[in-house]
Amino acid sequence: MKKLLLIGRSGCGKTTLTQALRGEKVHYQKTQGMVFEDFLIDSPGEYAENHDLGCALALYSYEADVVALLIAANDDYSLFPPCITCLVNREVIGIVTKSDQADPCRAERWLRLSGCKTVFHVDSLSGKGVQEVLNHLNQQKTNKNTEK
C-alpha cells in the first residue's frame, strides 16, 4: 500500500481519519508532532497554519507516495491557495472530512480549486467513504500511471 501524508488545519479530522483507515476505534488524540505509522503520516494542523512549518510539509511529502489535502465539510474557509498542488512532486488528492456535516460540496470545490483532481468524501465516525480511500492507495501500487 502506498504511503499517505495528511495535511489540513487543526480539528479538520486528520487523526480521526488515520484511525478509521487503520480500522481502529475512533478516539480523540491531539497530534503533537509528525506521526509516522504504517502507511500513514499524520501532521499537526499547526504545520498547515504556519508559513514556515508549511514549507516543512513540502519536505515531508518526499516521505510519502500520495499527499492528501483535507478540508472539513463544515469549515468556513480553505487554508489552501489555488493551484498549490504543483508545489510537490507527488500525487495530491483531496479529502472532504466530516461529510456528514454541511457543506461537503463547497469543501470539494475548494479542494479542486487548489488542484486536487481526485476528491474523496469521508465520515470517519460512521466509516463512510473510508474504504474508497484505502482502495485508491492499493490501486496506486499496482497501477502507477493512472493518475485521474
Ligand X SMILES: Nc1nc2c(ncn2[C@@H]2O[C@H](COP(=O)(O)OP(=O)(O)O)[C@@H](O)[C@H]2O)c(=O)[nH]1
Binding residues (CB under 6 A) for ligand X: these are 8, 10-16, 28, 31, 45, 97-98, 100-101, 123-125
Q: Which of 15, 61, 85, 97 binds Mg ion (CB under 5 A)?
A: 15
* Cβ nearer to Mg ion, comparing 31 with 74: 31
Stretch that binds Mg ion, among 15-23, 73-81, 92-100, 139-147 (CB under 5 A): 15-23
φ/ψ bin of 100: left (φ > 0), alpha (ψ from -120 to 50), beta (otherwise): alpha
Task: Return the number of the residue (36 or 135) whose C-beta is nearest Mg ion.
Answer: 36
Closest CA to 130 of 96, 80, 102: 96
DSSP letters along 1-46, please? Answer: ---EEEE--TTSSHHHHHHHHHTPPP------S-EEETTEEE--HH
- With CB cut-offs between 5 and 8 Å by kind, which of Mg ion, ligand X, none does residue 77 bind? none
User: Closest separation between CB of residue 15 and Mg ion, Å?
Assistant: 3
Q: How far is the CB of 26 from ligand X (least distance, A)?
A: 7
Q: Which is nearer to Mg ion, 16 or 99 (CB)?
A: 16
Name, in order, each residue with C-beta under 8 angstroms of 10's C-beta and a sequence gap of 6 or more: 44, 45, 46, 49
Q: What does the angle CA 116 – CA 100 – CA 117 come to, to the nearest 5 degrees?
A: 10
Q: Which parts of 22-81 interact with Mg ion (CB under 5 A)?
A: 31
With CA atoms as reference, report the closest residue to 12 among 48, 59, 61. 48
Stretch that binds Mg ion, among 10-18, 53-61, 122-130, 132-140 (CB under 5 A): 10-18
In the complex, which residues of this chain contact Mg ion (CB under 5 A)? 14-15, 31
